[in-house]
Structure 1
Amino acid sequence: MKVFKHFVQSPLYWIAVVAVGFGLEGVALFYQHVLNEPPCVLCIQARVWTLVGIIVAGLGLTVRKFFYARILAHLALIGALIGLLNRSWIALLVERGQYDGQCGMDPGFPTWLPLDSWFPNVFEVWTMCGYTPNLIAGLSMGEGLVYGVSVLIVIAVAALVVDILNRK
């Protein structure tokens, strides 16, 4: 526990969050551009939530010496992870045929932030939702994201609690 406390209150925590975020984005782009797996709207929205997490972690790194700002960064990170879990969960439900909602081609970006126009190789929807490709050990990308993000949420909540209890 002492090691985790030290880790959470060091810049390494926020750097690790950024690294995990870039890793997730990298895997998504590898599947899209190397393995030719076209992204659906849920995939794109998951990428946006991952980008939000990266940005929040960058801010957390810069404000880590200020307790209340750091707590806000923890909360914002947890919010981004919950958004990512939501998109991942819906992708899993779609994959299993258990989702009744619509899954179209519009990523839903506001007119003032058209990420799909600015960065089409990263944020443009290429296909309708239906399945997610296999990752490893028989897990689909949807399953892997749900399990992985759930673990990340537990870590982020633990980091918040440790940070609050061990105010520096």
Structure 2
Amino acid sequence: MLPVLIKFVHSRWYWYLVVAAGLALESVALFYQYILGEPPCVLCIQARFWTLSGVLFGLFGLSSERPVAQGVAHVGLVAALAVLIDRSRISVLVERGQYEGQCGMDAGFPAWFALDAWWPQVFEVQTMCGYTPNFIFGLSMGEGLFYGAIMLLVVAVGALVLRAASGLRGVR
């Protein structure tokens, strides 16, 4: 089983799966916004940004056969997922009334990278933080994103470890 997993994390299919998972998350967010009428808060927008970052790291990994570039893509993916977990954790704390920080209407993008101005259909904050809509299995959207991002992080870290271990042994 281990050789099959090692072969998979070295394949383009792994990166296709990373990109597909990220696009699926973005699609769900946009479905909730435009079809179900649930406006995004600043934490939702930040989660969208880190999800998009994961997609871009996936595309980078997909576009290169070089082990160093794919290692960079893996580390970037793990970092993006770690921040996504943090944003979704704060979202859960806010909806439970356990967060004392501030959630405003500013997405927090710097002026030189103003995604909310360049692409407002996706990155414009439209409401204050407070609750996230019901999702699946009795979870709120924030909880679903939190648990889902944890699972994705476990997979990405596992893939990174397999890739590194197989690289040390010269197995591919």
User: Which TM-score tier does this pair reach, normalised by the shorter chain?
Assistant: over 0.9
Superposition CA RMSD, Å: 0.8
> What is the alpha-carbon distance in structure 1 between the residues aligned to residue 63 and residue 119 of structure 2?
26
The runs of at least 4 aligned residues of structure 1 exceeding 2 Å deviation read none
The size of the alignment, in residue pairs, is: 167
**2:30 is matched with which residue?**
29
1:104-143 equivalences under 5 Å are 104-143=104-143
| CA distance in structure 1 between the aligned counterparts of 2:146 and 2:136, rounded to whole angstroms | 14
Equivalent position SS for 1:137: coil
Instruction: Determine helix, strand or coil for the equivalent of 1:42.
Output: helix
**TM superposition score normalised by structure 1:** 0.97
User: What is the match of residue 151 of structure 1?
Assistant: 151
The residue type paired with residue 66 of structure 1 is: R
Report SS of the residue matched to 1:71: helix
Q: Aligned equivalents of 1:40 and 1:2: distance in 2?
A: 43
- 1:1-168 alignment runs, 5 A limit: 1-63=2-64, 65-167=65-167, 168=172
Q: Aligned letter for 1:16?
A: L
TM-score normalised per structure 2: 0.95
CA distance in 1, matches of 2:15, 2:116: 27
- C-alpha displacement at 1:3, in angstroms? 2.2
Match of 2:139, SS state, is: coil
User: CA offsets, 1:17-59, max 9 Å, x none?
Assistant: 0000000000000000000001000000000000100001100
What is the one-letter code of the residue matched to 1:120?
P
How far does residue 70 in structure 1 lie from its aligned partner after superposition? 1.4
Letter in 2 for 1:100: E
The percentage of aligned residue pairs carrying the same residue is 58
Residues in 2 aligned to 1:26 and 1:147: alpha-carbon distance in whole angstroms = 18
